[in-house]
Amino acid sequence: MAKEVNIRKVAVVGCGFVGSTSAYTLMQSSLFSEMVLIDADKARAEGEALDIKHGLPFAKPMNIYAGDYSDIADAAIIVITAGAAQKPGETRLDLVKKNSAIMKSIIGEIKKQDCQGILLVVSNPVDVLTNVALKASGFPENRVIGSGTVLDSARLKYRLGEHLSVDSRSVHAFIVGEHGDSEIAVWSSANVSGIAVDDFCEMRGHINHDKNMRAIAEQVKNSAYEIIEKKKATYYGIGMAVKRICEAIVRDEKSILPVSSMIHGIYGIDDVVLSMPAIVGKDGVETLVPISMSSDEVEKLKDSAKTLKEVLEQTK
């Protein structure tokens, strides 16, 4: 019989830069009272658990340990960050062969535990690997989520906030589609506290805002390349994104987040995992939120879906 889910328990599979930073961020969040770390390199998981635990006197009590798959049976959320990361110049999609094999082997282990928790995939290419995890696990679609463009949307909000000299939390803007080169910034619904972003730009005395917005979207799309070129890996932003998604689930917030999930029939797109704004709560993805998009944005979303479908074929 399946073990009952412990809503205060999280598992992190893969304890490299992204897994350990996510674990560190989760430790500080007080969302969980138990966290198990798993890595193919057991010593790495043990070392990270020990290091993170030493911060507990400055946080809230929590049981943090390196474990194995038998420890994840009752975890509410299993965050998967295992796999190869991009090297300078590599795209996320270049990682697909290697990481889909790793994902399949991890899901095989998770399946043996009869878990009822939610899978949160972070490893790249995240949309394709979320699809692989969904198919391999046989879990219901609402329980298999990718971190998707939550990070890209945060980068967009941050850059817009900086450009417009306004708190990035007052900026409401989504990146949708692939977490990667075909992603789309949805300008047609972007706003600052309800004021259309174009109008807000004018209010702040910005001219040429079309050109500026295009440049910002390009910068956001290329952020990972820039950071990887400079420091080899990205991990702080994604650590915060993982925490934000876990928070929405554990607290049943019904927050609207652009996580990656299985799409059926939106703008004619079907059977592809990609990011669209979704209501996220205790059951994972509750429903998608159909934000308004221009015809040009819809065409780009369809292209992004086509790219992802083609790459998924390489995993078969």
Ligand X SMILES: NC(=O)C1=CN([C@@H]2O[C@H](COP(=O)(O)OP(=O)(O)OC[C@H]3O[C@@H](n4cnc5c(N)ncnc54)[C@H](O)[C@@H]3O)[C@@H](O)[C@H]2O)C=CC1
Of 19, 177, 258, 277, the one binding ligand X by CB under 6 A = 19
Among 36, 102, 118, 274, the residue binding ligand X under the rule CB under 6 A is: 102
Residue 255 counted as an annotated binding residue: no
∠ CA 233-217-16, nearest 5°, is: 15
| Span from 65-73, 94-102, 166-174, 261-269 in contact with ligand X (CB under 6 A) | 94-102
Q: Which of 8, 44, 53, 309 forms a contact with ligand X (CB under 6 A)?
A: 44
Distances, alpha carbon 242 to alpha carbons 10, 62, 121, 151, in Å: 11, 18, 10, 9
Q: Which is nearest to 300 in space by CA: 144, 154, 183, 209?
A: 183
For residues 211 and 169, give the distance between their C-alpha atoms in angstroms, rounded to a whole number: 23
In the complex with ligand X, which residue's Cβ is closer, 12 or 164? 12
Give the nearest distance from C-beta 151 to ligand CC(=O)C(=O)O in angstroms. Answer: 5
SS3 assignment, position 182: coil
Is residue 244 a known part of a binding site?
A: no
Angle between helices 126-137 and 96-112 (to 10 degrees): 30
CA distance 102 to 100: 5
Amino acid identity of residue 163, one-letter, is: H
Q: Which is nearer to ligand X, 82 or 128 (CB)?
A: 82
User: Do the annotations mark residue 212 as ligand-binding?
Assistant: no
CB of residue 4 to ligand X, shortest distance in Å: 25
Which 8-state DSSP code applies to residue 311?
A: H
Rg (CA), the chain: 19
Show the DSSP H helices in the chain as ranges: 17-29, 42-53, 96-112, 126-137, 150-164, 197-203, 209-221, 223-231, 236-250, 295-313
**Out of 86, 113, 131, 275, the residue judged to bind ligand X by CB under 6 A:** 86
Q: Say how far apart CA 156 and CA 213 lie, in whole Å.
A: 10
Site for ligand X in 232-271 (CB under 6 A): 233-234, 238
**What are the catalytic residues?**
179
Binding-residue total with ligand X (CB under 6 A): 32
105 is in an annotated binding site: yes
Residues 118, 9 contacting (CB under 8 angstroms): no
Summarize as ranges the residues that interact with ligand CC(=O)C(=O)O (CB under 6 A).
86, 92, 124, 151, 224, 234, 238
Give, in order, the Cα–Cα distances in Å from 125 to each of 86, 288, 307.
Answer: 10, 21, 12
Q: Is 83 in the site for ligand X (CB under 6 A)?
A: yes
Closest residue to ligand X using C-beta atoms: 16
Is 16 part of any known ligand binding site?
Answer: yes
131 annotated as belonging to a binding site for a ligand: no
**Residue 98 Cβ, how far from ligand X at the closest point, in Å?**
9
Map residue 248 onto helix, strand or coil.
helix
State the minimum distance, in angstroms, from the CB of residue 147 to ligand X: 5
* Least gap, CB of 104 to ligand X (angstroms): 10
In the complex, which residues of this chain contact ligand X (CB under 6 A)? 13-19, 39-41, 44, 81-86, 95, 99, 102, 105-106, 122-124, 126, 147, 151, 179, 233-234, 238
Going by the annotation, the residues of the binding site for beta-D-fructose 1,6-bisphosphate are 157, 172
Going by the annotation, the residues of the binding site for substrate are 86, 92, 124-127, 152-155, 234
Going by the annotation, the residues of the binding site for NAD(+) are 14-19, 39, 44, 69, 83-84, 99, 105, 122-124, 147
